């Protein structure tokens, strides 16, 4: 490391410890096994003299998004977006009325839509997510998020992020980690708001994607979103997406459903100190209580495997003092 | 921005200015239009009071690799690797001898190989680059780079990086830029060594890729490289790869061939201050002189378009005091 870089890192670490002394990290976490697991792991990998020390450039932490960083009930936010969007676009597309899958979506008939299976969902995504530039899509998403309200909490979706997880993201970054989102959700659905909501820059978001095409339009270079699946960043896709985007195996992974199983396996199978944690939704009063039987965010196999794998469950009801950030 | 982060950034900037005062930046660049273009651009986008100011998180600079950061003659280094590799593997694969395309590669018969066209090259890449885990592939690459020598310069390939470009990468980073490689070369061929050679971390490397598969082998999660093209990060693929990996439009792009044309267009078509530069290989004595007629790194259309697009050519012979780093 060059001298200047070394000075910067040392200064940063000094200031970070100073900062850590000023504000209690993980303030919304109750003292308990989950908080202790996190603190002990961070202590071990940052102790330059310890056997588990990990240099900062290898301190990669990956986070699922839906149900891990923000609410995913009563349905994924991106699905709520797609349903609002298809309703808004429907008047210009009378031909959609003769397609039973799209008609179910337009009518908001969730039972009929669910009955169409994956085909109906993919079709809904394609007609609402393709046919515009990434910039235009991001504007559409931002405009929607600024207006849409969660049906139960009557708040904007970006206000329904988990305060304890925000503190965890910050705590890890203050300790030299780079924090990534690795989500089954659309990469370009997330990128417009993850920096503001989580401090996660666009380049640190990994997600599912549709294909894009480069073309010249009126002498200007344009990217166009195509109605064709490019990559599904879920289940076994998560380690593949991590390998493709990050190119390093994470040392810590946080998820909440069976869609995070392979990411947890991939992360914790590496050598040295590893951390795998699962947010368990146990709080019907303040948020939701669900696991094995949920349509969205089903947690079944990963929960069975957790003890043997050393993955620690975060019990939302007992581990978290507060669920959402205080209203501003 | 939180207070602590702000303090860190300000401290960093102060120390960086201090550092800039100690060592002459761009020391291997002759004073001339190329160096002036770079310095003036950096001055404009970092001047917090100027109209062209760009906040640090948007200071994204992208660099082609072959011919822009290191030597690409007499052939791409990755092709030299593939030819050495197929020779090493051939004894275990007698069946390759009956395939004229692979036989040409094994025999090092470049004329016959070239005559097989893209099909032969893709086949060569698949048999030498697939069938192992990413970790194993990176070890194979690292071992090869530690031994292989460039046929003319008799040095390791990683010693044949361009000293002025190393200084440029550092100068941009010292000024708050994030530097990315965006190369037609294989993403996992580059990642093992770009941090050491260029200070570019694996997550900041964008390149071509083959598909990978996640599987459990003897109870352990494994990624396996498949003989199937996933993404070609060249020409129109470069803006697509940038959008996919970085999710932001760069404000500066550096290339050297027509394969960088769309990346230059995409970068410089954005609003505000933009920089597009092309390394022009004009120095047959110290390196190579080639452009319109070269098999590797052909520079033709992009050179014709440069004046109207405001892209500035870097004249290797006249702009660079030194080509390669001094021997250590």
Q: Are A207 and A229 in contact (CB under 8 A)?
A: no
Measured in whole angstroms, how far is the alpha carbon of residue B228 from the centre of its chain? 22
Question: Average model confidence (pLDDT) for chain B?
Answer: 94
Residues of B in contact with A212 (CB under 8 A): 240, 243-244
Residues of A in contact with B191 (CB under 8 A): 247
Beta strands in chain A (DSSP E): 60-63, 178-186, 205-217, 220-231, 252-255, 275-282, 289-290, 312-315
> In this complex, is the C-beta atom of A133 within 8 Å of any C-beta atom belonging to chain B?
no
Do residue B7 and residue A16 have CB atoms under 8 angstroms apart? no
> In this complex, is the C-beta atom of B224 within 8 Å of any C-beta atom belonging to chain A?
no
Q: Are A168 and A63 in contact (CB under 8 A)?
A: no
> In this complex, is the C-beta atom of A201 within 8 Å of any C-beta atom belonging to chain B?
yes
* Range from A22-26, B117-121, B244-248 carrying the lowest mean pLDDT: A22-26
In a 3-state reduction of DSSP, which class is residue A209? strand
ipTM, two decimals, is 0.92
pLDDT in tens, A31-89: 999 999 999 999 999 999 999 999 999 999 999 999 999 999 999 999 999 999 999 99
Residue B114: predicted pLDDT = 87
* Range from A111-120, A222-231, A275-284, B127-136 carrying the lowest mean pLDDT: A111-120
Cis, peptide link before residue A74, omega less than 30° from 0: yes
Residue A17: predicted pLDDT = 52
> B26-73+153-208+228-319, what's its fold?
Rossmann fold (3.40.50)
Q: Which residues pair with B208 in a beta bridge?
A: B186
pLDDT in tens, A225-275: 999 999 999 999 999 999 999 999 999 999 999 999 999 999 999 999 999
Q: What is the dihedral of CA A266, A210, A151, A93, to 10 degrees?
A: -160
pLDDT in tens, B191-215: 999 999 999 999 999 999 999 999 9
Do residue B15 and residue A16 have CB atoms under 8 angstroms apart? no
Q: Which of B199, B243, B265 to mutate to test the interface with A (most CBs of A within 10 A)?
A: B243
How many residue contacts between A and B have a Cβ separation below 8 Å?
113
Give yes or no for residue B309 having a pLDDT over 50: yes
Residue A1: predicted pLDDT = 46
Give the Å distances, CA to CA, from A150 to A72, A157, A176, A257, B70: 10, 6, 34, 21, 52
> In this complex, is the C-beta atom of B246 within 8 Å of any C-beta atom belonging to chain A?
yes
Better-predicted residue by pLDDT, B9 or B113: B113
Q: Are B217 and A199 in contact (CB under 8 A)?
A: no
pLDDT in tens, B4-40: 555 555 555 555 555 444 568 999 999 999 999 999 9
Domain boundaries, chain A: 26-73+153-208+228-319
Residues of B in contact with A19 (CB under 8 A): 4, 7
Do residue A57 and residue B16 have CB atoms under 8 angstroms apart? no
Residues of A in contact with B240 (CB under 8 A): 212-214, 223
Question: Average model confidence (pLDDT) for chain A?
Answer: 94
pLDDT in tens, B148-204: 999 999 999 999 999 999 999 999 999 999 999 999 999 999 999 999 999 999 999
Nearest residue, CB atoms, A247 vs list B18, B202, B262: B202
Sequence length of chain A is 328
Do residue A239 and residue B214 have CB atoms under 8 angstroms apart? yes
Q: State the DSSP H helix or E strand holding residue B214, giving kind and residue range, or none if neither.
A: strand B205-217
- pLDDT (average), residues A162-183: 98
pLDDT band at B327 (very low <50, low <70, confident <90, very high): confident
* Range from A9-18, A265-274, B68-77 carrying the lowest mean pLDDT: A9-18
Do residue B57 and residue A195 have CB atoms under 8 angstroms apart? yes
Give yes or no for residue A7 having a pLDDT over 90: no
pLDDT in tens, B264-277: 999 999 999 999 99
């Amino acid at each position: 490391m060059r001298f200047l870089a070394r000075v910067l890192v040392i200064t940063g670490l000094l200031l970070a410890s100073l900062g850590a002394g000023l504000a209690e990290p993980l303030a919304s976490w109750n003292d308990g096994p989950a908080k202790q697991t996190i603190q002990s792991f961070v202590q071990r990998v940052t102790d330059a003299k310890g056997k588990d020390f990990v240099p900062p450039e290898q301190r990669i932490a990956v986070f699922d998004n839906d149900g891990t960083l923000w609410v995913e009930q009563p349905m994924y936010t991106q699905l709520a977006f797609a349903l609002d969007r298809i309703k808004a676009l429907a008047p210009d597309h009378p031909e959609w009325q003769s397609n039973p899958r799209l008609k179910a979506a337009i009518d908001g008939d969730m039972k009929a839509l669910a009955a169409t299976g994956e085909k109906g969902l993919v079709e809904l995504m394609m007609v609402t997510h393709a046919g515009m530039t990434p910039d235009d899509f991001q504007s559409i998403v931002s405009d929607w998020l600024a207006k849409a309200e969660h049906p139960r909490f009557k708040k904007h979706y970006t206000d329904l992020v988990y305060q304890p997880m925000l503190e965890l993201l910050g705590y890890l970054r203050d300790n030299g980690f780079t924090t990534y989102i690795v989500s089954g959700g659309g990469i370009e659905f997330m990128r417009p708001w993850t920096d503001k909501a989580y401090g996660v820059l666009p380049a640190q978001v990994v997600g599912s994607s549709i294909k894009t095409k480069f073309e010249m339009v009126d002498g200007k270079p344009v990217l166009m979103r195509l109605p064709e699946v490019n990559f599904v960043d879920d289940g076994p896709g998560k380690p593949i997406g991590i390998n493709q985007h990050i190119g390093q195996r994470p040392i810590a992974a946080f998820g909440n459903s069976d869609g995070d199983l392979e990411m947890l396996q991939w992360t914790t199978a590496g050598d040295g100190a590893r951390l795998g944690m699962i947010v368990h939704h146990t709080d019907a009063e303040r948020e939701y209580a669900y696991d094995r039987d949920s349509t969205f965010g089903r947690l079944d196999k990963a929960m069975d495997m957790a003890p043997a794998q050393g993955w620690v469950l975060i019990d939302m009801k007992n581990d978290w003092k507060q669920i959402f950030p205080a209203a501003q």
